[in-house]
Amino acid sequence: MEFLKFAWLRSAQNVRPTVVTFTGGMGAQMISAAIYFSLKNSGHPVYADLSYFDKPESVAVSGKPGDCSHWSWQLDTFGLTLASFDTSPGLTKRNSNILHDGPQKLEHGLKALAQPEIQKYFGIPAGVADVLSQEYANGFLCMHVRRGDYVNVASHLVADDEFINLARKFSGLLENLVVISDSPIGSDFRSAMSSHFKQVSFLDNIDPFTAHRIMRNARVLICSNSQFSLIAAALNPHALVLIPKQWFGEGERHIEAPIHTRSSFQVME
């Protein structure tokens, strides 16, 4: 028995630790945090690379090709601070497995967020006041239109007409619509949506946590090709979720694979 004990210890010591890189805004940070806690809970040695946050926040302006925002830490509202994660500056790709952004990381993140014990890390704190009026209590359609600095770097954008045509299909099922965007919503888009629903709220100037909380309370959630709304969908088990068929340009379509494995139906036009 003593021999087996020491054999197990030697085996455990030989496990290469994983370093999870943290980058991007709230959605990307939640993916990294979910992977980190999933590995830590399983007993796997895991550390966080938080060097991205050494650089101060810089919000890019849409219309400048290649210019992308550099975000600050956004998980404080979930009770998670930078100090919540162990870091080890001495680890490199020679003595650890570094998990960078990409299809593998997205796949691990979605699997981690499907675990109830991981979802608890991202619970909505009690006592947070609702920003929607009482009329929305009976259920609402929520649509996330990703724009902002994303138009500077995106290899594919979901067109306004695609969002409008899809929303119209639900106008007879739900009376209330909430449109969330990270850039000003144009008058043509507002007019097209308002004519099909009893009550519509256009929210294009709210903080990420409020936007995330609204999406997680939606009865029907139409996602953009964005990690932000995708993660909100993963944490909203009661919603009918619709995600884009195409997320990236032709040279990056392989990144979509982990997303499509979570889907079973498509919407016929």
pLDDT (0 to 100) of residue 92: 86
**CATH number belonging to the domain at 134-260, selected among 3.90.580.10, 3.40.50.620, 3.40.50.11350, 3.40.640.10:** 3.40.50.11350
Q: Cα(268)–Cα(90) distance, rounded to whole angstroms?
A: 52
The number of beta carbons lying within 10 Å of the beta carbon of residue 8 is 10
H or E element, residue 99: strand 97-99
CB 147 within 8 A of CB 181: yes
pLDDT (0 to 100) of residue 90: 86
Structure tokens at 142: 């929520």
pTM higher than 0.75 = yes
Domain residue spans of the chain: 2-122, 134-260
CB 215 within 8 A of CB 237: no
Q: Cα(204)–Cα(211) distance, rounded to whole angstroms?
A: 9
pLDDT (0 to 100) of residue 150: 53
For residue 91, CA distances in Å to 17, 48, 87, 104 come to 9, 10, 9, 20
pLDDT (0 to 100) of residue 67: 66
Tens-digit pLDDT profile for residues 72-113: 999 999 999 999 999 988 888 889 999 999 889 999 999 999
Residue 170's φ and ψ, nearest 5 degrees, are -105, 0
pLDDT (0 to 100) of residue 86: 97
Tens-digit pLDDT profile for residues 106-144: 999 999 999 999 999 999 887 666 778 888 888 999 999
pLDDT (0 to 100) of residue 8: 34
Which regions in the chain score pLDDT beneath 50?
1-12, 151
pLDDT (0 to 100) of residue 63: 64
CB 152 within 8 A of CB 111: no
CB 208 within 8 A of CB 188: no
